[in-house]
Structure 1
């Protein structure tokens, strides 16, 4: 198998390494040409169908790990997906789209692959429409596509934009206060980046029906308050966590378009937000990494100066 990975952020880099670890040939495509060590890199705009078709030629799978800025999703995502479908149709490559849980909106918990898609805000509408386009292309026989959906991720490589990334761990490990979106005392599903990547690999090799969704098993459903308590006890620190008042977040969002979008999706942190991955566990044989091991590896990453 040879794989084209679109994007080299925390998700794209982890997915690329997971395929590399299986001995696959991996090409990573980005606008800048950045890529993890050991892979072929190519510079392209994913919305350019001709460039993407050339890059996808000879690859059996296209893993879509790119993610435009929050505030440009409605503008930037549709041409990217049209380009991905066009390139896959021309080359015969399968599509594994990495997604999230936004399209379920304020769903009954836990969210399952069969949960109705009833978005609560515009980014959820975009995600719903992207998957609808991929599913329709699969049903027409143009491509074979699946979507791997993860709740908020954490782990080595998770940076400042991750709710359980740099902005959570750095202050706590330095005996300071971490400021959280929403209510940090509520349970939330957290997907460990290597588990996300293993789900992508397994989904790309699945021999059953395409045109479906897979959920990434959650390594933890703990609240950020409880995770902070565990970090303090396990690693000998004295950090704390508090929620940013919604009015403050909304006010800052008036001037900052990214935070405006974060505020719109903050409902995910104002009530329990939990996912179920029973189908992934039983049909793909992918389970979550043990929480303690995932946490140890994550803390080691932040304490080591963030190796590549």
Structure 2
């Protein structure tokens, strides 16, 4: 039995906790509000407090970093989190698995892989690259073992209104209305299914081979939002349509909302193909993507069963 400290209890942190508990691990969940999850022990801590992390994590094998501040707070929120988590984990002498994304790769040559160069196209990518560099440097010095698991945009049960393939996409389409999306509707984009993200985090933590590197979550599909909408109409009786936000609207709204300003700055990911190749992670870690048809069916069923989200 392994012991883990999971920082964050959002969709990914909660899903990871459930998976670890299910296999018999001893799991501690650390959040600022002391969130309680089934089968796990809750502790109240701030992820910017290295002392709190080191205290809560006594005896743990792996620290999982699954927090995710709002877009508009990344510049101020992420750096102290990265510093504290790396410092706290180093004091424990354990392993650190961080949940990341593909932002640091910027406008990469497609498809992106685990070896694509870091070339951030905007500030959020640079922030994520700096955080991983901090963990990697500690790994290089032998202070801890660190890996980062990176995923493209996620989808699945529970994905709310802030997800590009979440409530604001599925709910209008299934209800016969228009779903408004960021960027073009005809560009291929990789989509990571939430349970597959969890599987990759667990596999990365269990890996006995190389650390100090990144892994990619195998995407279930690389479809455009237009293609997905067409599939929903053909397979699930949806009658809605998908349309892009009018040009310039996000930029205008960004004048009043820091979060929307950051959405606009990373909208390049939907202006051209944004496709991930995680074949190396699949081969080495043994993780595979849930077939697109199965993941989509489960996702549609979740939105039809759940009350409409605000």
Q: What TM-score comes out, normalization by structure 1 length?
A: 0.97
Equivalent in the alignment of 1:135 = 136
Q: Distance in 1 between matches of 2:192 and 2:23?
A: 21
Aligned-pair CA distance for 1:224: 0.7
Match of 2:45 in 1: 44
Q: Which residue of 2 aligns with 1:232?
A: 233
| Offset, 1:230 | 0.8
Q: What are the Cα deviations for residues 16-51 of structure 1, in whole angstroms up to 9, with x where unaligned?
A: 112122221112111112243222111111101111
CA distance in 1, matches of 2:147, 2:77: 20
Query: What is aligned with 2:97?
Result: 96
Q: Secondary structure at the match of 1:230?
A: helix
1:30-179 paired onto structure 2 within 5 Å: 30-179=31-180
Aligned to 1:241: 242
Moved over 6 A (4+): none
**1:298 equivalent in alignment to 2:299:** yes
Partner of 2:253: 252
> Structure 2 CA distance, aligned partners of 1:71 and 1:92?
33
In structure 1, list runs of 5 or more residues that go unmatched.
Answer: none
DSSP 3-state at the match of 2:27: strand
Moved more, 191-200 or 289-298: 289-298
State the distance in 1 between where 2:120 and 2:208 align.
30
Aligned equivalents of 2:264 and 2:135: distance in 1? Answer: 28
The secondary structure found in structure 1 opposite 2:169 is: helix
Q: Cα deviation per residue 1:178-226 (whole Å; 9 max; x = unaligned)? A: 0000002110000000000000000000001110000000001001111
Please give the secondary structure, in 1, of the residue aligned with 2:79.
Answer: helix
Contact 1:111 1:274 in 2 (8 A): yes
Q: CA deviation at 1:306?
A: 6.2
In structure 2, the partner of 1:199 is: 200
| Distance (Å, rounded) in 2 between the aligned partners of 1:36 and 1:271 | 39
Given that residues 157 and 306 in structure 1 are in contact (C-alpha distance below 8 angstroms), is that contact kept between their aligned partners in structure 2? no
Tell me the secondary structure at the aligned position of residue 246 of structure 1: coil
Which residue does the alignment assign to 1:286?
A: 287
Going from structure 1 to structure 2, the CA distance change for 1:211 and 1:154 (only over 3 Å counts) comes to same
Deviation at 1:3? 1.1
Count of aligned residue pairs for this structure pair: 307
| Aligned residues: CA RMSD | 1.2
Give the 3-state SS of the residue equivalent to 2:42 in structure 1. strand
Greater alpha carbon shift after TM alignment, 231-240 vs 271-280 = 231-240
1:252-271 residue pairs with structure 2 within 5 A? 252-271=253-272
SS of the residue 2:248 aligns to: helix
> What do the CA deviations read for 1:99-150 (whole angstroms, capped 9, x no partner)?
0000000010001111111100000000110011010000001110000000
* CA offset digits 1:162-193 (Å, max 9, x no partner): 10011111111111110000002110000000
Gaps of 5+ in 2: none
CA distance in structure 2 between the aligned counterparts of 1:245 and 1:107, rounded to whole angstroms:
26
3-state DSSP of counterpart to 1:297? helix
Please give the per-residue CA displacement for 1:236-269, whole angstroms capped at 9, x wherever unaligned: 1201100012301100111111000000000000
- Greater CA drift, 41-50 or 264-273: 41-50
2:223 aligned residue: 222
8 Å CA contact 1:18, 1:194 repeated in 2: no
User: Cα distance 1:7–1:306, how it changes in 2: closer, same or farther (>3 A)?
Assistant: farther
